[in-house]
C-alpha cells in the first residue's frame, strides 16, 4: 500500500462549454457572486493540498486572470481528446509529487472537502482507486458504476457504451476519482480510445485498475453535491441549491429569516446571531452584520458593515464602503456609499450619503444630499456629533458641519459650519397679497374666452 499522505488536485476545465452560449468561460460563471471554480477551490482549502493544477484549454486567458495570485498551476490540453487525456496534461506540473491525486471537474462547485476525505479514506482501507457515485432521480445519460453491496466496483461504463442491463443500474459516475500518484499515472497512460466517441475516458482509470486485479471502491454522495453545470438552467438550479443551503446555515447559526425563500446571500455574507432579516433582502459581496441588527424588507446591501443593534430600511441601499456604527439607523429610500454613520446617528428617509462621515447622534433630515461629485473628482462631507441637518438640504462637498450645529431646512451649504452654529441658506421670501386670486381670475376668463 502507498503510504504517502500528501494530496494534490487536478481540476479539469478545458472544455468549451458551448451550451452556456457565453463569452465567459463556463467555470467562471458565478454562484452567489463567486465563480464556480473558486467555490470548488475554497472547498478544497481544508484538505491541505500540496499542489493544485487546473487543466485549461478554451478561453485560457480568462482562467489565468481568475487564478492570478493563487497557488494554482495551469496545464494546457490541446487538442482536447477526452477527460483522461486532460488529466494526463497535469503530469508535468505535478512532477516530483508523491501522494494521493484527486481528478475532478471544474463545473461541480458543490463538492465538499469532507466528501473528498471519504474517498481518501477508501484508499487508506486498501483500495487502489476510489470513485464518487450518486443516485439521481433520473439517471439520464450519466456513466454507470456496477458495484457490489460492499462498494467494490466491478465495472464502469459510459452511457453510450453501456448495455441495456448496465443502463438499468441507477448508480452513476460523478467523475471524481482518487488514486495514489504511483497508480494514477500508469493507469492514465494505459487508457485507450476504443469507444463510440474515440476519446480517452477518465473512468477507464478504474476499469484498468480492475483489469489488473486491483480493488476499486465507490463512495456514494447526494446527487445535488455533484451536479454538473452545463447550461444557464443548470446554473440557476445550482444557485437555488446554494441559497437554500446558506439560508439553513444562517438560521442554524441564530439568524432570523422571516421569509427565508425571499432572502439572497452572497458567498461571503456574514451575519451574527440575533440578526433579523425581513423579506426580499439581497446581500451582495462583502457584507457583515453584527448581533441584534435588523435588515428590513426590500433592502440591498453590498460591501457594507452594519453594526450591533442597527436598523436598515425598508427599501434602503447600502453600497460599497457603507459603515453603520452601533445603534445607527437608516430608513426607507436612504442610500449610503463610502460613508460612515456614527453611533446612534440616523437618516430616516429619502437621503443620499456619499463620501461622508456622520458623527455620533447626528440627525439627517429627509431629502438631504451630500453633493460629493463635481464632474471630475469626489469630495468628502464631514458632519459632527449631534449635528442636525434640516430636510431638503444640499451639503456641497468638500464641507464640514461642526458638532451640535444646525443646518436649516432647504439650505444649500457650500462653506464650513462651526460647532454649535446655525446655517440658513435661503432666498428672500416675498409675499404679494391677493396676487394668486387675481391670477386665477384672469386665467379663468382667458380660458372661457378661448372656448367661445
The half-sphere exposure of 411 on its side-chain side, counting CA atoms within 13 A, is 20
Per domain, the residue ranges of the chain are 7-226, 325-452
pLDDT at site 161:
85
Reported in sequence order, the residue ranges of 266-372 that DSSP labels E, i.e. its strands, are 270-271, 276-277, 282-283, 288-289, 294-295, 300-301, 305-306, 311-312, 317-318, 323-324, 329-341, 346-358, 363-364, 369-371
CATH topology of domain 325-452: UDP N-Acetylglucosamine Acyltransferase; domain 1 (2.160.10)
Look-up of cell digits 471519504? 118
pLDDT at site 4:
59
pLDDT at site 358:
98
Rounded-to-5 percentages of helix, strand, coil across the chain? 25, 30, 45
Q: Which three three-digit cell numbers place residue 272?
A: 451574527
The half-sphere exposure of 218 on its side-chain side, counting CA atoms within 13 A, is 27
pLDDT at site 241:
95
CA angle 370, 376, 380 (to 5 degrees): 30
The Cα 101–Cα 113 span in angstroms is: 14
The Cα 162–Cα 145 span in angstroms is: 10
**Sign of the CA dihedral with 76 first, then 82, 86, and 91 last:** negative
pLDDT at site 2:
55
Q: What are the backbone angles phi and psi of residue 270, rounded to the nearest 5°?
A: -125, 110
The Cα 320–Cα 377 span in angstroms is: 18
The Cα 170–Cα 144 span in angstroms is: 7
Walk along the chain (452 residues) in steps of 10 and give the mean pLDDT of each run. 76 91 95 96 89 94 94 93 95 96 95 94 95 92 92 91 90 95 96 86 93 96 92 96 97 98 98 98 98 98 98 98 98 98 98 98 98 96 98 98 97 97 90 94 94 84
What CATH class has 7-226?
alpha beta
Cβ(398)–Cβ(413) below 8 Å: no
Provide the 3-class DSSP secondary structure of residue 123: helix
Cβ(66)–Cβ(37) below 8 Å: yes
Residue 29 annotated in active site: no
Out of 29, 349, 379, 440, which one is annotated catalytic? Answer: 349
pLDDT at site 331:
98
pLDDT at site 138:
87
Other C-beta atoms closer than 10 Å to the C-beta of 185 total: 17
Amino acid at each position: 500500500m502507498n503510504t504517502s499522505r500528501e494530496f494534490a488536485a487536478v481540476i479539469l476545465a478545458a472544455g468549451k462549454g458551448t451550451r452556456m452560449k457565453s463569452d465567459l468561460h463556463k467555470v467562471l460563471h458565478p454562484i452567489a457572486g463567486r465563480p464556480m471554480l473558486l467555490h470548488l477551490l475554497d472547498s478544497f482549502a481544508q484538505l491541505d493540498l500540496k499542489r493544485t493544477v487546473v487543466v485549461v484549454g478554451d478561453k485560457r486567458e480568462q482562467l489565468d486572470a481568475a487564478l492570478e495570485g493563487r497557488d494554482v498551476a495551469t496545464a494546457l490540453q490541446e487538442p482536447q481528446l477526452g477527460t483522461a487525456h486532460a488529466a494526463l496534461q497535469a503530469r508535468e506540473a505535478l512532477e516530483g509529487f508523491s501522494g494521493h491525486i484527486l481528478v475532478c471537474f471544474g463545473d461541480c462547485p458543490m463538492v465538499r472537502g469532507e466528501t473528498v476525505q471519504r474517498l481518501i479514506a477508501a484508499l487508506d482501507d486498501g483500495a487502489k482507486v476510489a470513485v464518487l457515485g450518486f443516485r439521481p432521480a433520473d439517471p439520464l445519460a450519466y456513466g454507470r458504476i456496477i458495484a457490489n453491496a460492499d462498494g467494490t466496483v466491478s465495472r464502469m461504463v459510459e452511457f453510450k457504451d453501456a448495455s441495456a442491463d448496465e443502463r438499468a443500474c441507477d448508480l452513476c459516475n460523478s467523475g471524481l476519482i482518487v488514486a495514489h500518484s504511483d497508480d494514477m499515472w500508469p493507469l492514465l497512460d494505459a487508457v485507450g480510445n476504443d469507444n463510440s466517441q474515440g476519446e480517452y475516458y477518465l473512468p477507464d482509470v478504474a476499469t484498468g485498475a480492475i483489469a489488473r486485479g486491483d480493488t476499486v471502491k465507490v463512495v456514494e454522495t447526494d446527487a445535488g453535491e455533484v451536479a454538473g453545470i452545463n447550461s444557464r438552467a443548470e446554473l440557476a438550479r445550482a444557485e437555488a441549491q446554494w441559497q437554500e443551503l446558506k439560508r439553513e446555515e444562517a438560521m442554524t447559526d441564530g439568524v432570523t429569516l422571516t421569509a427565508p425563500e425571499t432572502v439572497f446571500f452572497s458567498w461571503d455574507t456574514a451575519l451574527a446571531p440575533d440578526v433579523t432579516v425581513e423579506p426580499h433582502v439581497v446581500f451582495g459581496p462583502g457584507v457583515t452584520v453584527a448581533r441584534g441588527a435588523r435588515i428590513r424588507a426590500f433592502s440591498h446591501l453590498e460591501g457594507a458593515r452594519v453594526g450591533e443593534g442597527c436598523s436598515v430600511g425598508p427599501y434602503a441601499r447600502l453600497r460599497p464602503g457603507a459603515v453603520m456604527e452601533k445603534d445607527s439607523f437608516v430608513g426607507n429610500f436612504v442610500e449610503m456609499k463610502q460613508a460612515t454613520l456614527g453611533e446612534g446617528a440616523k437618516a430616516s428617509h429619502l437621503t443620499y450619503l456619499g463620501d461622508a462621515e456622520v458623527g455620533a447622534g447626528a440627525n439627517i433630515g429627509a431629502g438631504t444630499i451630500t453633493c460629493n461629485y463635481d464632474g471630475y473628482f469626489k469630495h468628502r462631507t464631514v458632519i459632527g456629533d449631534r449635528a442636525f441637518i434640516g430636510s431638503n438640504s444640499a451639503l456641497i462637498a468638500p464641507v464640514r458641519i461642526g458638532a451640535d450645529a444646525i443646518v436649516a431646512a432647504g439650505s444649500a451649504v457650500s462653506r464650513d459650519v462651526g460647532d454649535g452654529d446655525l446655517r440658513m441658506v435661503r432666498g428672500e421670501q416675498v409675499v404679494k397679497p391677493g396676487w394668486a386670486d387675481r391670477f386665477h381670475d384672469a386665467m379663468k376668463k382667458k380660458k372661457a374666452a378661448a372656448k367661445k
